[in-house]
Amino acid sequence: MSKGFLHHIELNVSNLHRTVDFWGWFLEEINYEPYQEWESGKSWRLDDMYIVFVQAETRFLDIPYHRGRVGLNHLAIHATSRQQVDEITRKLRDRGVTILYADKHPFAGGKEHYAVFFEDPDRMKVELVAP
């Protein structure tokens, strides 16, 4: 394992069931595997890195997530190819997920940046970007 690589990311979510439904299919499509599961959380792993989703406590649900506030803006994940970006884009649309910056898709990040941008159930921006 190389020093400096992310070990894991843990995200608090407003509705664990909805989040697991959304992220589960997506992460498994890009080769993550279910890793840990307990009453208030679930994770998926790819190699040595994993992503954890935890149900936020009720007392913290009054202010929803917004990527414009201090904190996480978005998650960008490597795709294996442009074809994978296209395939995931189609599957996102089939699931009724809005593609962000649709008028510039798949070059919303610039003319050499082939990616799909979308939001999870808590409106966190996610980017799947081709090499």
Is residue 68 included in any domain, yes or no?
no
Q: What's the number of domains the chain is made of?
A: 2
For every residue of 40-90, DSSP letters joined together read: TEEEEEETTEEEEEEEPPGGG-SS---TTSSS--EEEEE-S-HHHHHHHHH
Is residue 66 included in any domain, yes or no?
no
Q: Which positions ≥6 away from 18 have C-beta within 8 Å? A: 121
Do 55 and 77 belong to one domain? Answer: no
> The sheet that has 41-46: what strands, in order across it?
8-13, 49-55, 41-46, 33-38
Pick the closest to residue 26 from 130, 118, 108 (CA basis).
118
129 close to 79: Cβ distance less than 8 angstroms: yes
Do 79 and 109 belong to one domain? Answer: yes
Is residue 97 included in any domain, yes or no?
yes
Do 53 and 14 belong to one domain? Answer: yes
Do 87 and 124 belong to one domain? Answer: yes
Pick the closest to residue 24 from 57, 54, 53 (CA basis).
53
CATH code for position 92 = 3.10.180.10
pLDDT > 70: percent of the chain: 98
35-86, pLDDT tens digit by residue?
A: 999 999 999 999 999 999 999 999 999 999 999 999 999 999 999 999 999 9
Whole-prediction pTM: 0.92
Instruction: Please state the rounded mean pLDDT for residues 111-119.
Output: 95
Compute the distance between CA of residue 70 and CA of residue 121 in angstroms, rounded to an integer.
Answer: 19
Do 84 and 33 belong to one domain? Answer: no
Is residue 121 included in any domain, yes or no?
yes
Do 77 and 129 belong to one domain? Answer: yes
Determine the structural domain holding residue 20 and report its residue range.
1-59
Do 55 and 8 belong to one domain? Answer: yes
Do 44 and 89 belong to one domain? Answer: no
User: What's the gap between Cα 101 and its chain centre?
Assistant: 16
Do 131 and 78 belong to one domain? Answer: yes
